[in-house]
Structure 1
Amino acid sequence: MTSHRNERTGSGKGSNSGGQTNRGGKRGGRAGRAMNTPAETQIAGLPVAKNDEVVIEIIGMNHDGEGVGRVDGYTLFVQGGALPGEQVRVKVLKIKKQYGYAKLLEVVEASPDRVAAPCLIYDKCGGCQLQHLSYEGQLAWKRQHVVDALERIGKLNVTDEESSNRGIVVLPTLGMSEPWRYRNKAQVPIGVTEGGLVGGFYARGSHRIIDMETCLIQHESNDDVVARVKAIGRRVGITAYNEETGQGLLRHVVVKVGFRTGEMMLVLVTNGNKIPRENEWINAIREEIPAVVSVCQNVNTRQTNVIFGDVTRVLWGKDVIYDYIGDVKFAISARSFYQVNPVQTEVLYGKTVEYAGLTGAETVIDAYCGIGTISLFLGQHAKQVYGVEIVKEAIEDARANAELNNMQHVTFEVGASEDVIPRWKEQGIEADVIVVDPPRKGCDPRLLETILEMKPERVVYVSCNPATLARDLRVLEDGGYRTVEVQPVDMFPHTVHVESVALLVRNGTDR
């Protein structure tokens, strides 16, 4: 505890990005004022100094899940789980001219949405950030996070659904009826302690591996497979990879499960080609884990934190497992990307199809098509679908998945969207709808220019980053489109991530 001179109280004013109501500065004297400002601060004119302790009101939460509060108008980002609407005591860790960082010491007055996190290692792991916020509170915050990005970054007009003006409607976040055990893929780093082989997660802020027996957002089967593989590995004397020395064999255990089919794939990522007592290990896996139909080895000898290397071989069983999204069947290989929450993926893609407004007569272009998940979903309702993706292996998977589903009217091509789509236009291909599902960095500016030149009736933007979504919507709006509606979808409950689907129509056309 610092001296009384350094314990001060502040209260914030402003919009609440967590969907909570502000409760004023009960403990802060006048709102936004500190009670005891020290004679000296580390940056002249600031109301706080490093190591000060203050009581503040949390007025929002940023995209990393940090609480946001203010002292005399000076913003503090609070680590440690402070929630909007709470009065909290914090310790200032670092200050800059415009804002500073603090850590939570005590919740003085709790939010009604604060709950006890059910995970026993929640405070150590860092894989989830919002377990201490009720699920209803999470969904409200995620919607507000999208609204804030649209208004602040995109300078776009967001309206209530009942409003008569032509602003953007941001709908309530579509959540899960059971927001646990939703991940179909586990990627577990392996290490060693005095007790032998361990696997779990990296301790926060380090690469020290903490053993973990269960993860509440993983499919139960994944937990079971990882636990059994660790036990078998200990039995047969498998060594764990050491990042510092580059020695040891087993780097990661990757498990994939088909939610609908029940099929499981196990991938052993190794630091070298040879696995000691390989047959013994495989036989034990087959005997103890009958749901596993594929055991693969991926070789990664590089000193990197990237999980996979370039070489993958099947040790036993099939080279792929299968799963479904809706009625579309997908082959999943050791390296192929596949959405980790298949339940919500169906919700997300269903909204994409709805926004595309397909009647069966349309031509659709799917930019950033990956292994063809959205393309094939759209292909159930469109006359023709063209998918483009820069990753060659993904296009190979996409073509195989199109063949698997007997969809000859879905065509895939390797390349950058901004290069391939204009070439398609020269060939006479005109798109009624363009769907984009870019990475977190958003759309390439040249792709946005291409969309504006193609002039499709509709653009459907699937986003995993509200900030880049807002930036790109601004460009499309300035180029002649109107954003009608945005639907947030909770693909990753208990984390700060939120996906969204946005519908844009060309000005002069009805929805």
Structure 2
Amino acid sequence: MPRRSDDRRQGRGRPRRGRRPVRSAAAFKEHARATVTALAAQGDGVAETEDGRRLFIPFTVPGDDVDVLIGPARGDGFEARVLSFARKAPRGEAFCPHFETCGGCSVQHLTEADYRAWKRGLLVQALSRRGLALEVLDLAAVPRDARRRVTFQAERTGSAVVLGFAERRGLRIEGIEACPLLAAGLNGLIPSLRELAAAMLRPGERARLAAARVEGPEGPALDLVVERDREPDLAAREALAEFARTSGAARISWRDAAGAVEPVAQISPVTAAFGPASVELPPGGFMQPTAAGEDILRSTVVAGAKGAARIAELYAGAGTFTFALAGIAHVHAVDGDAALMRALGTGAGRSGLGGRVTAETRDLAARPLLPGELKDVDTVVLDPPRAGALRQVEQIVQAPGVRRVVMVSCNPQTFARDLRVLVDGGFVAGAVTPVDQFPYSHHLECVAALTREN
């Protein structure tokens, strides 16, 4: 769902804050041999020692016999590192030279069949923990090289600049020349983004560069948001202007210490096409990571809302689903981001849908729609951030006129929690669709439609 930035969805912080603790080699001391029996939620192999301690061992698969060094406590077990394999079970072949070092992908070592079963199983397990025995469809996948937005990290170390992604469970940046999950247009930017970082950073400084290729009616537009601890000085502004001139970027923006995003250079509008409407995204406007995944989500949501008379779309963003839903019934779109709501309303008017779409700015986590405000609504569509929509679904079950709910989530755990509330409130859930927009990671989108009789 559209958001002003990746940070709201993934909970990422400033360039030098909120990073994962480093696990030094000295922390891994005790030797053990173990057999991997399962895969954990983040893709690590799971094994038990002879004395019953649970181990999380990265880059292993069920059936592996491994000699490991046991390290720090983690959750209900301990981290461990492989010293050697006594026996290797069948596995896939990683397709990226940075796998096992870069923190982006965690399970390239699985076979395709094992990967799909593991990823679908994340949703099955989350539902099961809430006592929900629902039908879970096969994993809906997107092409591997389909990512149209990415956040690179950059650091100057002496005279060199490294641009890439944070290493697995560490602070170091793994420099890359290309990422096989990115669309070609984004991989092609890496050399020029490295040059931009070199012109902006002092020794020891870091920056984040979030690039997105937004598909609009006039073709793709490059939208870049830059972030570092210091505010932009003359050198940074000159470097950004030069990047705008040479890269063909439509817009370059700067995120300040408070998280506000302001354009530094606006060459042309950044317009996203959402079905029958076009929306000019505000600076830092979030979009789904892949066009294919967006299409899967949109078609599934529309199918779930079929037959609605009046729809409340909550956490609507810039309108990923809004305008397709407007082909079914009147849509009242609600989101806490005022800029996104203005963009959605303007897009509706320009597309001739102003009479079928209304927009409201409201923090639904703090002020969920109450049953009285839902009295004229028979269908609610929700696409909340990772924290879910617990307070809102608690109000929905008390709104007797709501007969249908379509729930979208990027977090299987909060998705299952919120579905449990709806089911306990009399709703019956149909089949659940897992959508794999983040291949070879543990991140997963989920969609379900629920109905309730009088």
TM-score, length-normalised on structure 1?
0.75
Matching residue within 399, 405, 427 for 1:454: 399
1:47-66 residue pairs with structure 2 within 5 A?
A: 51-56=30-35, 58-66=36-44
State the alpha-carbon separation in 1 of the partners of residues 253 and 329 from structure 2: 40
Q: Is residue 274 from structure 1 mapped to residue 240 from structure 2 by the alignment?
A: no
Does 2:422 match 1:422? no
- Structure 1, residues 260-283: CA drift from partner, whole Å, max 9, x if none? 622212334352243328557634
Closer, same or farther: CA 340–403 of 1 in aligned 2, 3 Å: farther
Give the Cα separation in 2 of the matches to 1:468 and 1:195.
45
* Matching of residues 387-426 of structure 1 within 5 Å: 387-408=333-354, 409-417=356-364, 419=367, 421-422=369-370, 425-426=372-373
Task: Tell me the residue number matched to 1:465.
Answer: 411
Counterparts of residues 107-506 of structure 1 (less than 5 Å) = 107-112=85-90, 114-151=91-128, 153-157=129-133, 168-176=134-142, 178-179=143-144, 181-231=145-195, 234=198, 237-240=199-202, 242=204, 251-259=207-215, 261-269=219-227, 271-276=230-235, 278=237, 282-283=241-242, 285-286=244-245, 288-290=246-248, 292-294=249-251, 296-300=252-256, 302=257, 309-318=259-268, 320-356=269-305, 358-359=306-307, 362-380=309-327, 382-408=328-354, 409-417=356-364, 419=367, 421-422=369-370, 425-426=372-373, 429-444=375-390, 446-455=391-400, 456-506=402-452
SS class of match (2:331): strand
Q: Deviations over 1:357-387 (max 9, x none)?
A: x24x52111122222222223123x221112
Percent identical residues: 26
Structure 1 distance, partners of 2:203, 2:382, is 39
Backbone CA RMSD of aligned residues: 2.9
Partner of 1:5: none
Q: Is the 8 A contact 1:61 1:67 kept in 2?
A: yes
- Secondary structure at the aligned position of 1:258 is classed as strand
Counterpart-to-counterpart distance in 1, 2:75 and 2:111: 34
Please give the alpha-carbon distance, in whole angstroms, between the structure 2 residues aligned to 1:466 and 1:119: 27
**Secondary structure at 2:419's aligned position in 1?**
helix
| Equivalent pair of 1:229/1:285 in contact (CA under 8 Å) | no
Shift of 1:448: 1.8
1:10 matched residue in structure 2: none
Separation in 2, partners of 1:212, 1:206? 16
Where 2:54 maps in the other structure, the secondary structure is strand
Q: What letter is aligned with 1:230?
A: R
The alpha carbon displacement at 1:97 in A equals 11
In structure 2, what is the Cα distance between the partners aligned to 1:281 and 1:391? 27
SS at match of 1:52: strand
Q: Is the 8 A contact 1:126 1:204 kept in 2?
A: yes
Q: State the structure with bigger RCO (CA 8 A, min sep 6), 1 or 2.
A: 2
Structure 1 residues 278-335: Cα deviation after superposition (integer angstroms, max 9, x where no partner):
557634642x434x233x23152x4xxxxx74251232412x3223344543433331
Once residues 121 and 89 of structure 2 are traced to their aligned partners in structure 1, the CA distance between those partners, rounded to angstroms, is: 17
**Whole-angstrom distance in 2 between the partners of 1:284 and 1:95:** 45
Q: Distance in 2 between matches of 1:258 and 1:92?
A: 45
Instruction: Report if the CA contact (8 A) 2:281-2:318 is conserved.
Output: no
Unaligned regions of 5+ residues in structure 2, if any?
1-27
Larger radius of gyration: 1
The offset of 1:497, in angstroms, is 0.9
TM-score (norm. length: structure 2): 0.83
Aligned length: 421
**Runs of 5+ unmatched residues, structure 1:** 1-48, 158-167, 244-249, 303-307
